Amino acid sequence: MSSLDLPHDLTDGLGVEAAVPISGGDTAAAYRLATAGGPLFAKTMADPPAGMMAVEVAGLHALREHTPEVLGVPEVVRWNDRGIVLEWIEEADGRRSPGTEEEFGRGLAALHRAQGEAFGALDPELPGRIGSFEVDMSPTQDWAAFLLERRIRPLAQKAVGSGRIDPRAADVVEELAPRARELAGPEEAPTLVHGDLWAGNRLVDVHGRNWLIDPSAYWGHREVDIAMMLLFGGFGQECLAAYHVEHPLAPGWEERVPWYQLPPLLVHAVRFGGAYGDATMRALRRLQQ
């Protein structure tokens, strides 16, 4: 594929010699760009939601600023409303080891020590999003209310409205709502979270260094990232063990995991239904016990 197939304002001046399509997820087209200065990564979307790329770029900049040296975050080379060009990360298939897992856990614990003034968006001028869905990300000091009223409740209503989940889901959320503070856990200062930390958004390069990609970053609660890591798996036991040594989670965090997993489960239920709707209902039933 030629660079002519990519938006000109995204690639002009980069000396792109070829653009080879690669796997890039289910919502974007991704490419390995060959340039005289070395390979680059490009991701484009034909009609992305307004502000989606700006939110990702803000997240990458924030992570680069606050992430310790042991974790890499790709540099933004160029971006516009329809795409982004990043430094290339040469992955090493199967390179993950007890050592890389332990190092990732320590690095994530260090990242989670970065604190903000309020829960919410990195930049109040940017639109609030969880995936492609709009959400209220205006600053607040009340994390428990943020999680319930801006994440779980509206997403449950959207999921029920889509017809892809048991219609009782929204009723169970309302049944659990009086326990929102208990389920959110002890109060902590706003923490910089990746916001979409499943295993596919963590890479290990040929040198054994861990990288964070595709953030949906904001000032939140660190159990957001922990719950997401546990939802889809792919992180070794050494990872959480090292995390707990460096930055122990508050007692009872295991019981709070289903509450924190509801937002990503509900997003997937809206988009795909089926097993994700069933998984959401299982999480809700666990919380009822």
**Which of residues 9 and 255 earns the better pLDDT score?**
255
Sign of the alpha-carbon torsion through 244, 245, 248, 253: positive
DSSP-assigned beta bridge partners for residue 195: none
SS3 state at 109: helix
Of 12-26, 60-74, 136-150, 160-174, minimum mean pLDDT range:
12-26
Taking alpha carbons only, the member of 179, 181, 184 closest to residue 289 is: 179
pLDDT per position as a tens digit, 25-51: 667 899 999 999 999 999 999 888 888
CATH dotted code for 91-289? 3.90.1200.10
pLDDT per position as a tens digit, 190-239: 999 999 999 999 999 999 999 999 999 999 999 999 999 999 999 999 99
Taking alpha carbons only, the member of 60, 44, 54 closest to residue 194 is: 60
Under 8 Å between Cβ of 256 and 184: yes
Query: Average pLDDT in the 58-68 region?
Result: 97
Give dist(CA 29, CA 6) in Å, integer: 10
Please give the mean pLDDT across all residues of the chain.
Answer: 94
What pLDDT shows up at residue 1? 42
DSSP percent split of the chain into helix, strand, coil, nearest 5: 45, 20, 35
pTM of structure: 0.95
What pLDDT shows up at residue 46? 86
Degrees, nearest 5: CA angle 63-64-65? 90
CA distances from 185 to 128, 140, 197, 211, 258 (A): 24, 17, 20, 29, 12
Please tell me what DSSP assigns to residue 119. B
Pairing of strands 191-193, 76-80: unpaired
What pLDDT shows up at residue 47? 86
pLDDT band at 5 (very low <50, low <70, confident <90, very high): low
pLDDT per position as a tens digit, 124-153: 999 898 877 889 999 999 999 999 999 999
Token pair for residue 206?
Answer: 């040929």
Q: CATH 3.30.200.20: which residues of the chain?
A: 1-88
Terminal-residue alpha carbon distance, the chain = 54
Q: Which fold has domain 1-88?
A: Phosphorylase Kinase; domain 1 (3.30.200)
Q: CATH 3.90.1200.10: which residues of the chain?
A: 91-289
% of the chain surpassing 70 pLDDT: 97
The residues annotated as belonging to the active site are 196
